[in-house]
Amino acid sequence: MMPIEELQSMLDTAFPGDDIRLNSPMGDNNHFELLVVSDKFQGKTMIEQHQMVYHALGDVMREAVHALALKTYTPQQWAKASGG
């Protein structure tokens, strides 16, 4: 189990100033939904984008997070996906 605040802090450090939306829909701090919108993803495949997030979370992904529903976008991709 990992407090959501700790995960948020790790993500904020790895993706400063980017749009990060993290929640634990079951409220158990084991299952998480994460959306990251970052310029750092420009020119990267979805797999590379996800690897960047996994790298930012490090060992937490193996030890404390049971499930992570992850969505990553560049700002341009997000504008299209969100209708904005």
The correct CATH number of 4-81 out of 3.20.20.140, 3.30.70.920, 3.30.300.90, 3.40.50.970 is 3.30.300.90
Q: What's the alpha-carbon Rg for the chain, to the nearest Å? A: 12
On the question of pLDDT at 63 being above 90, the answer is no
* The model's pTM: 0.92
Q: Look-up: residue for tokens 């997000």?
A: 78
Domain spans, the chain: 4-81
pLDDT tens digits, residue range 24-36? Answer: 999 898 899 999 9
Q: Look-up: residue for tokens 């990060």?
A: 20
pLDDT at 64: 84
